Chain A
Amino acid sequence: MCLAVPAKIIKRSEFLGTVDISGVTREVSLMLLPDAVVGDYVLVHAGFAIQAIDEEEALRTLELFKELEQYEIDS
């Protein structure tokens, strides 16, 4: 029930944004994420940006996966 894809906002005009996913662009609605700005990474579902992606957390997750033996996993 939840197919959503991370994308970067490259243009914004009121409540319409253009997002870029690996070079592919599409118009999405920003009605559900009104504070989004150009440069933000957002999650896109059914033609809407539905949540912002926290880049710091994203990097932290990536680092965790890369260096698993050295990090303590939250339990």
Chain B
Amino acid sequence: MLLGINTAKDGGIMHNQEELILLGHGSGGRLSHDLIKNIMVSAFANPLLAELHDGARFSIGGTKLAFTTDSYVVKPRFFPGGDIGKLAVCGTVNDLAMCGAKPLYLSAGFILEEGLPVVELKQIVESMRATAKVAGIDIVTGDTKVVERGAVDGIYINTAGIGAVLPQADITARRVKPGQVVIVSGYLGDHAIAVLSERHGLTLPAQIISDCAPLNGLIQELLTEVPAISMLRDPTRGGLATTLNEIAADAGVGIILEESTLPVRPEVQAVCELLGFEPLYLANEGKVVTFVEKEDSEKVLKIMRQHPVSAAACIIGTVTDKTAGQVALRTMVGGLRLLDMLSGEQLPRIC
């Protein structure tokens, strides 16, 4: 397959260029999934990787650990509500939390562009220090490389993290069952909109900022009080729709969302309408989606609503045994339609 052009056997469009990586491969949607599955997962093949959760979990000498990594290339590197440094710490801390682990140690690898102002690097590193403190973790090892002007865009950061899996946690797709409810911890799309608005000539009111935040404190309390929680995931790239599709496929269940319950700020909705985006496909960096039995949902909501990061938590859907592997949306007018995973990246449109 080539650059999105089909090579149907009956003589569709032919090509003779080599296959190249597209921006769409990094969007977290179907293109990304296929790339990772077909190239990385198939090459590295092993049972720990096969789980494909936010991190790998394994035991060493009787201690269950979680291990994860992520790279950060966000542009602009400073945005309302945070910067690439804060994102780099939160992202990995949160992935460990999604594994049901208490995050302990992070590594930080920096790739710096020749010409990056040192004062910016200092700001970013200070952000990481402050965020690590809030999250209660230590950055214990790292690396720094400098490349020529133009080889990277300012600064790229990779963080890897290790955490201790909480004894009460059993986060796995196998435990997601029909009848459970789906809870999201707050407003959707804030991060993506905070990051891309400037690029599109839009001025946001001051209250719209990235939701980037460490969630490990919240999740630790949730798992301690409600060990029945079967699944946790943070809806980052590809948005909530993509995350739920992954879970539905992994668990072999169907999920039905109620459009009238989806929490989206009016300002975020406005930007989406202007540019032609859909909030369900926008990245979040401080949200968690949780699956739990109906009878435990009130308890989960109570705990969430007491934390500032999840004050707007609400139930948005249920798990069903129909339409296994797929996610459906019941719309405001009562229609029930398929909610697919993101394909490539969302582009602003006028049609």
Contacts and interface: CB of A to CB of B under 8 A. Distances in A.
Interface of A: 1-3, 5, 21-27, 44-46
Nearest to A44: B274
Contacts of A46: 350
B269 A22 contact: yes
A27 B201 contact: yes
Interface residues of B, number: 19
A23 B267 contact: yes
A23 B270 contact: yes
Given A3-B276, A5-B270, 11 more contacts: A2-B351, A3-B351, A23-B205, A23-B208, A23-B267, A24-B208, A24-B274, A25-B203, A26-B274, A27-B201, A45-B350
30 contacts: A1-B351, A2-B351, A3-B273, A3-B276, A3-B350, A3-B351, A5-B270, A5-B274, A21-B273, A22-B266, A22-B267, A22-B269, A23-B204, A23-B205, A23-B266, A23-B267, A23-B270, A24-B205, A24-B267, A24-B270, A24-B271, A24-B274, A25-B202, A25-B203, A26-B201, A26-B203, A26-B274, A44-B274, A45-B350, A46-B350
A2 B350 CA distance: 7
A7 to B, nearest CB: 8
Nearest to A5: B273
A24 B204 contact: yes
Interface of A is mostly: strand
A5 B181 CA distance: 34
Contacts of B204: 23-24
A74 B276 CA distance: 31
Contact of A21 (B208, B274, B276, B351): B274
Interface in B188-210: 197, 201-205, 207-208
Contacts of A1: 350-351
B349 interface: yes
A7 B331 CA distance: 24
Contacts of B208: 23-24
